[in-house]
Amino acid sequence: MKSFTSDLARLRVPLGFLCAAAAYWLARPTPQSVFAGMSLAGMGEVLRIWASGHIDKGREVTRSGPYRFVRHPLYLGSAIMGLGFIVAARSWPAAAIAGGYLAVTLTAAMRTEEAALRSRFPDEYADYTAGRRGAQPRSFSLARVAANREYRALAGFVLAIGLLVLRIGR
């Protein structure tokens, strides 16, 4: 089971493209649904940018920025972006595909990431999850945002808006 979970976590990006294509094909957006959904998705992307400006992935247990409040702000941001797509798509079948994809792959990614952090930083991660360590002082850094390649999620967000706009009325 552990292998299946980690395999699923690794495959979440290519699976995401397949699910997005199917959901896009089933989408029935209106100008209002695109505006509402992409406004919501934009909030998810802002959360992702904030989180990626505070984390050095795989090198530490981060406790600054949004990590003070939630263990997986990048995945929460992705889930909010997915919810925004669901609203924008205005289609129950598209919602089922996108929602199912997010539930399965983000859960697998979080479990895989937590196992890696427990293995690599056993004491520090246990303290973090138990709330025994407070926030660490660290400023937001655009260099970290770039190093974490958050521009890819931002590009996907912009592409999704454009494609949904093209889909209106079809």
* Span 12-38, pLDDT tens digits: 888 988 999 999 999 999 999 999 999
Q: So what's the pLDDT on residue 2?
A: 60
Per-residue pLDDT band for 138 (boundaries 50, 70, 90) equals confident
Q: Report the CATH number at residue 33.
A: 1.20.120
Which contacts qualify for 105-111: CB closer than 8 Å, 24 or more apart?
Answer: 105/8, 105/9, 105/11, 105/12, 105/15, 105/16, 106/12, 106/75, 106/78, 106/79, 108/5, 108/6, 108/8, 108/9, 108/12, 109/9, 109/12, 109/75, 110/71, 110/72, 110/75, 111/5, 111/9
Separation CA 162–CA 164 (nearest Å): 6
Q: So what's the pLDDT on residue 6?
A: 75
Residue where the block lists tokens 């247990």: 61
Structural tokens at position 45: 């992307």
| Structural domains in the chain (count) | 1
Separation CA 53–CA 100 (nearest Å): 28
* Span 90-111, pLDDT tens digits: 999 999 999 999 999 999 999 9
Domain with 105, as residue range(s), is 2-167
Q: So what's the pLDDT on residue 58?
A: 79
> Residue 116, SS3?
helix
